[in-house]
Amino acid sequence: MAEQEEDFSSLPLPDRFQHKIWKVRKAAYEDAAKQFAITPDEHDPAFRPFLQDPGLWKGAAADSNVAAQQEGIAALCAFLKFGGREGCTRTRSHTITPLVEKGLSSTRAATKQSALEAILLYIELDTAAPVIEDLLPALSHKQPKIIAATLAALTAIIHNYGCKTADPKPILKVLPKPFGHADKNVRAEATNLAVELYRWLREAMKPMFWGDLKSTQQTEMESHFEKIKAEPMPKQERLLRSQQAALDRAPPPGAGAVEEEEDLEAEPIEVDVFDLAEPQDVLSKVPADFHEQLASSKWKERKDALEALFVALNVPRIKDGDFNEIVRGLAKSMKDANVAVVTQAAQCIEVLAKGLRKPFTKHRSVIMGPIMERLKEKKASVSDALGLALDQVFLATSLTECLEETLGFLKHKNPAVKEGTMKFLIRSLKTTREAPSKTEVASIVESAKKLLSESHEVLRSGGAEILGTVMKIMGERTMGPHLEGLDEIRKTKIKEFFEAAEVKAKDKPKPKPPPAAAPKAAPAAAPRKVVKKTATKKPAPPPSQYAQQPPLAPQPTARSIPGSKLGGLKAPLKRALPGPGGAASTASPARRPIARPETPEEEAPPPPRLGVGGRGGLAGRSLAKAPTMAAPPPASPVSPTPNSGMTAVERAELEELRLDKDRLLRQADEHRQERSRFNSEVQELKNQNAQLIEDHTRDVLSIKAKETQLVRARSDCEAAEAMCGQLRREMERLKRALTTAERVNSPPTTSLPSPGREPSVDESGIYRDTGMYSGAQETRGYGNARARMSYTSTLSEEKENTGDGLAGQYGRTKLSPELRNGRTSAASGSGGRNSPAPPYTSRVPSNDSARDGGNGQGVESWKRAAEVTSALKAKIEQMKVCFPSHVFQILPTDTTSLQARQGLSRQ
């Protein structure tokens, strides 16, 4: 056994992974995990065999032996942990399904934990969308324990990575299905998953699945949600490898950028219903007569049309379409004389802009002006509705797109329009996430300064609030030059609004220059960081900037530079030069305008230092003075050298590159989210396709069954038609036979008997034809014999014949004895009383009675024959009603006799 073990250990790891002995496989898994742990990097040759054949991990994750499976999944975790992203992307498609079906549902706690860790590592190394996409099909598994384990894994993914990294939309789409499962463990895990999603999404998640739950489940979920509402927003506990790399590239601790990143991370993640909802086509729901009703002369009809439009548009997300006519109609409704119509139109604009978002941008120019023009209404309900509509229009567009028109209405002659526009601008500045450009800031400040001189106090306060909000976004240093000509009272008011303002946008270009200047000169980079840090926390640097600006007046070339784009970049660099001796300038940070006129007299050294940068004034002074005085000048050009115009250009280019990088990263995130959305749509379409295939198969089987029934019915119909044709031919034959019989049995026109016949008259006066009649009976057979039924039978004989006739329809055995045994007896000519009468007789008056004048008795006999015929007709109709048609198909012979009777009755 020892030799065999040595042979096994000498085999390559891929061969041992596939060995038939489970102990060999288990040892191979353990050896692989140890090898992966000691590799220096992810490019080590130890990973190469498993990258070339990723199917090895499928067998390891689904090993038939539970002990070997535990070690196999642990080896997979080691492979992912040390193998890098390439090992994740190559093995993910092979291992996710075995991990779910065999690992997460295992009875061993270690196996279950290792399987969950492997799934989390797959997300950590790449992204969460492909892993979630592979996990969701397991929710339709037949075994409830696998469904419960998958729900628990999804809960762990959301808990560790959050809804910002792991897209919750695919999960929310299938979440109602586990809530309706028969197994209680599945429902419990679905509840845990919904609670975890609520921790991140709050009320935004409800429209996705809330309507599919039962009332009792909704009540239970509400009780769980109430416990979470008081908790703070959760944070991402586990970072992706890409996020970890971004943190590693961050500046060292203590830098202001890190503090700002921490502040951004501390902000709660806002999830909107719009991001989770699916677009809906609302144009088909708009009433067909909407435009006709909107143009009606009655305000009630116009209001009803707008209410119907509001119901159609009030959905979380609207699919883009041709809304031009609707928007023009709503813009026209802004001029309506009835305030109820205006309010309803504003509500329609609000829900349309909220549901469309970015596609609504093309309608902004049509609708924004009429809304602002209507701000003159004094009624609070109307102005509130118009304000909400404007807010949604702004959220659907941007500050840059709305700013020009907004500033134009700030100059409106109506004070109410001015006030409403001013409030809208303040709300826009507080909610925008993109800081305005310097040109836009100058336009906003100019319009706000004009409001400071208005006669209405509300407008004056609004102007101060606009300036304070802009200062909060751009910073005090940027807003300092714009507040030069204002008095102290107004500055104090602006300062109050600045401190109380809460904004979402920050001036991004300000904190980014320090990392670019740091690698060029390490000694000069440290003081810059310190200055920047004090700029964010203390108001000292802005006065120093203003103190340095006046010395630039004697040099026209230097004044032109601050006015250009590079002026904003050179100012903070010049501030670092008088750092040690700038105590006097930083002593009064709150009174910037007062400190500025004093700087030209107090600070004499700055002009010579600026001259050093130009290589001018200090050249002559260094020659006139001792060599000891020539030492400082070389030190001063060392620090300004990076501050020359070339460095600023490079910094500007670097800034543009960083902006491009941020833009590309945002585009990559958008493409990733779009790809995830497309994957979810593909999965949904696959499910719909499978359902359609199943429905098609069911319809095809149903059609084939109907076709089979139709073929059978056609064959039955053809058989019935053939039988009807046979019966019709038989009926014609019987008619001909009956006609022949009538001619034969017709009464003679003369008293002489026909040749060849020997009539005989019995004692009862019945005429019996014993000659030709019997011969015809013998030659024509039984069928013609039945056709020659007597017309003059008595009523009692008719009852007996009908009784026997019913039985005779079902067989020939119940025929009269005369027809069965004695055909010749009818032709024997015996007219005795005791001899059996022939089955068919013709009762006519005898020659003697005719000669004796017995015509009355003959007429009576014919009347009795007519009565018997009518009775036979009635009986035949009753038989048709009582017996179904298949009886006649089964017994064609009896049907023939019945048809013969019908022919006799018709005659």
pLDDT in tens, 413-436: 999 999 999 999 999 999 998 899
Q: Is the pLDDT of residue 168 over 50?
A: yes
First-to-last alpha carbon distance for the chain, in angstroms, is 113
Alpha helices in 397-456 (DSSP H): 399-409, 415-431, 438-452
Specify whether the backbone of 811 is left (phi greater than 0), alpha (psi in -120 to 50) or beta: left
Could you tell me the pLDDT band of residue 766, with boundaries at 50, 70 and 90? Answer: very low
Which pLDDT value is given to residue 906?
Answer: 53
Least confident interval from 83-97, 162-176, 305-319, 541-555: 541-555
Taking residues 471-476, what's their average pLDDT? 91
Which pLDDT value is given to residue 509?
Answer: 52
DSSP 166-220: S--HHHHHHTHHHHT-S-HHHHHHHHHHHHHHHHHHGGGGHHHHGGGS-HHHHHH
Taking residues 378-405, what's their average pLDDT? 93
Could you tell me the pLDDT band of residue 340, with boundaries at 50, 70 and 90? Answer: very high
Q: Is the pLDDT of residue 460 over 70?
A: yes
Which residue(s) pair with 769 in the sheet?
759
Which pLDDT value is given to residue 594?
Answer: 39
Query: For residues 274 and 357, is the Cβ–Cβ distance under 8 A?
Result: yes
Taking residues 539-563, what's their average pLDDT? 39
Q: Is the pLDDT of residue 144 over 90?
A: yes
- Cα 473 from Cα 505, distance rounded (Å): 6
Residue 281: both structure tokens together: 């086509």
757 closest CA partner among 765, 748, 496, 460: 748
Write phi, then psi, for 511 (nearest 5 degrees). Answer: -80, -5
Residue 67: both structure tokens together: 């002990």
More reliable by pLDDT, 471 or 818: 471
Which pLDDT value is given to residue 517?
Answer: 41
Which pLDDT value is given to residue 77?
Answer: 94
Which pLDDT value is given to residue 75?
Answer: 94
Which pLDDT value is given to residue 177?
Answer: 92
Which pLDDT value is given to residue 555?
Answer: 41
Least confident interval from 283-292, 505-514, 531-540, 837-846: 531-540
Write phi, then psi, for 759 (nearest 5 degrees). Answer: -70, 150
Could you tell me the pLDDT band of residue 651, with boundaries at 50, 70 and 90? Answer: confident
Least confident interval from 124-138, 288-302, 535-549, 711-725: 535-549
Could you tell me the pLDDT band of residue 681, with boundaries at 50, 70 and 90? Answer: confident
Alpha helices in 334-434 (DSSP H): 339-356, 364-373, 380-396, 399-409, 415-431
**Average pLDDT value over all residues in the chain:** 74
Q: What percent of the chain has pLDDT over 70?
A: 66
Could you tell me the pLDDT band of residue 652, with boundaries at 50, 70 and 90? Answer: confident
Taking residues 614-624, what's their average pLDDT? 43
Q: Does the predicted TM-score (pTM) go above 0.85?
A: no
319 closest CA partner among 278, 355, 377, 279: 279
Q: pLDDT per residue over 302-339, tens digit each?
A: 999 999 999 999 988 899 999 999 999 999 999 999 99
Alpha helices in 432-521 (DSSP H): 438-452, 457-474, 476-479, 488-500, 513-517
Taking residues 656-676, what's their average pLDDT? 88
Q: Is the pLDDT of residue 461 over 90?
A: yes
- Cα 19 from Cα 8, distance rounded (Å): 9
Alpha helices in 603-644 (DSSP H): 606-614, 617-624, 632-638
